[in-house]
Amino acid sequence: MRYKLGSYAETAKILKKNIEASNGMIHIVNRFLTFNPKILGNTQKTAMELISQEEEYDKFEMLINALNMSEEFNKENITIFAPSNAAWNTLPNGGLQYLMEDENGQQKLRAILRNHIFPGYVDVVDLIQKSSLQSLQGVTLKVKITEQSQIVLNDNAGITQVDIPCKGNVYYYHIEGLLVPEYIKVVHNTCPIPTTIKVKGKCQSTCEGIGQCPMESDTPIPGELDSCIQYPLFGPSAQFPLPRKTGCTQVCNRTLTIPKCCEGFFGSLCLPCPGGFHKPCNGNGQCLDSISGNGRCLCSPGFMGTACEMCNEQKVFGPYCNQSTLLSYLFAA
């Protein structure tokens, strides 16, 4: 028996489910289901040839070619989970630019792309029966079946078409999500500053050994005790105060983190500056970043716009506003 999943023209309601048969399970639905695959396979073409034919994979193809990884996707006996353009749009603002242009970002992108390749043929029946898969990147991905009977990888990448055949015993699946390894963070927008302060524990009658800290996460400082006064049960301002006793309190270290936005991010939510966090204000000005900043771009002379993306004189153009237009020659004449 073979399962097929994909995009259906109509939806159907299950009238009766889980009817056991000698060779499987039967569900009774209230209408015919017709299957209209969006993408057709071709065993005479490589995976990259098929991917390049589909507009749905424009960004996927662009990123593969940008890192010269087409050979890895044209190998034989592999299964590819191909993310749609919409899947790449789920990256944080400026994230795709960072992955493409930054050296560290390119290393992360290479790992992300390899995380979409799986060794051998991943049959859809095996996929349904398994709880996890391991990619060529060595990352284990979770497999889950939703209440709507859709296969989802890593809780965010839903499979909408399966078993698209290519040349070399290669198959690929169409997914609406990215398989980003958990250890990769595309955007580091917060850079909290760790700091240590001293706190005192409860006043105790004994001054020997190590006392208790106010919180379990605090660390007692050996040998560092402060004197304190133990007030009676009724407190220091009772009508008939009892004699006070001198005791000791343990001094402890407490680690705190001070919120801080990374460079290129601003505000309480640490949002990316205009022009993208990788190149704030398009490199033509200074962004008022930091957690107290408002993200405004202070443009350098010759530039204007929300992200300093425009020249403030009509006579010049170009990314650096240093190329003369025809108007400048006319005025010069």
In the structure encoding, which two tokens stand for residue 331, read together? 């005025």
128-144 mean pLDDT = 90
pLDDT at residue number 5: 43
Beta carbons within 10 angstroms of residue 214's beta carbon: 14
Answer with the residue of higher pLDDT: 83 or 185: 83
In the structure encoding, which two tokens stand for residue 224, read together? 């560092």
Contacts of 301 by beta carbon, 8 Å cutoff, 6+ apart? none
Contacts of 15 by beta carbon, 8 Å cutoff, 6+ apart? 28, 29, 30
DSSP 282: G
Angle separating helix axes 103-114 and 58-66, nearest 10 degrees: 120
pLDDT at residue number 29: 75
pLDDT at residue number 1: 31
Return the ∠ at Cα 138 (arms to 133 and 139), rounded to 5°.
55
How, if at all, do strands 170-176 and 78-83 pair? parallel
User: How far apart are the C-alpha atoms of 286 and 303, rounded to whole Å?
Assistant: 11
56-82 mean pLDDT = 94
249 bridge partner residues: 226
Domain extents for the chain?
37-175, 193-228+244-258, 265-324
- How far is it between the farthest Cα atoms of the chain? 100
Return the ∠ at Cα 53 (arms to 50 and 57), rounded to 5°.
85
Checking if the pLDDT of 35 tops 60, the result is: no
Contacts of 216 by beta carbon, 8 Å cutoff, 6+ apart? none
8-15 mean pLDDT = 57
Check if CATH label 2.10.25.10 holds for domain 265-324.
Answer: yes
Average pLDDT for the chain? 84
189-193 mean pLDDT = 86
Beta carbons within 10 angstroms of residue 96's beta carbon: 20
Checking if the pLDDT of 220 tops 80, the result is: yes
What fold does the segment set 37-175 form as a domain?
Answer: FAS1 domain (2.30.180)
Query: Does the pTM exceed 0.75?
Result: no
Residue 99 near residue 186, CB atoms below 8 Å: yes
